[in-house]
Amino acid sequence: MMWIDLVAVLAVLQFIGFGMVVASARTQYKVHAPATSGHPQFDRLYRVQMNTLELLVCLLPALYVAGRYWSPVWVALAGAVYLVGRLVYWRAYAQNPASRTLGFGLSIFPIITLLIAALAGMVMKGAV
């Protein structure tokens, strides 16, 4: 489970890092709290942070439930793909929101895979 724990911690740190980018953008583009929009570049960075939060809520339980039934190494590897996907998404969305598809796919497909693996594991073990 150490690898799953590592991925979970890295995912939360990544989210915090995106939050720091948004905080810096607030200053740079003069978007004062509680405003959540203003300069187009700030808006993009803020959306990356919020989209990451939306997916993080799905990733963390999926990681841990799948990790109860399947190899922690494989589960952590799926989580690592998510982490890379979030970086790809951030870079793409910040430059051109229309180019976010690859990063989003690399983020959502590992989550879906983990959820299916968790369900399959439960069915195979008779938990469902």
Kindly state the tokens that stand for 24. Answer: 């810096």
Rounded distance between C-alpha atoms, residue 111 and residue 126, angstroms: 22
Q: Contact 41/95 with Cβ under 8 angstroms?
A: no
**3: how many CB neighbours lie within 10 A of its CB?**
18
The amino acid at residue 48 is V
Q: Is 128 helix (H, G, I), strand (E, B) or coil?
A: coil
CA 25 to chain centre: 20
Tell me which residue range forms the domain holding 82. Answer: 2-124
What is the pTM assigned to this prediction?
Answer: 0.95
**128: how many CB neighbours lie within 10 A of its CB?**
9
Per-residue pLDDT of the chain (128 residues; tens, 9 = 90+): 899 999 999 999 999 999 999 999 999 999 999 999 999 999 999 999 999 999 999 999 999 999 999 999 999 999 999 999 999 999 999 999 999 999 999 999 999 999 999 999 999 998 66
Q: For residue 7, what is the domain's CATH number?
A: 1.20.120.550
3-state SS of the chain is CHHHHHHHHHHHHHHHHHHHHHHHHHHHHCCCCCCCCCCHHHHHHHHHHHHHHHHHHHHHHHHHHHHHHCCHHHHHHHHHHHHHHHHHHHHHHHHCHHHCHHHHHHHHHHHHHHHHHHHHHHHHCCCC
**44: how many CB neighbours lie within 10 A of its CB?**
18
Q: How many domains does the chain have?
A: 1
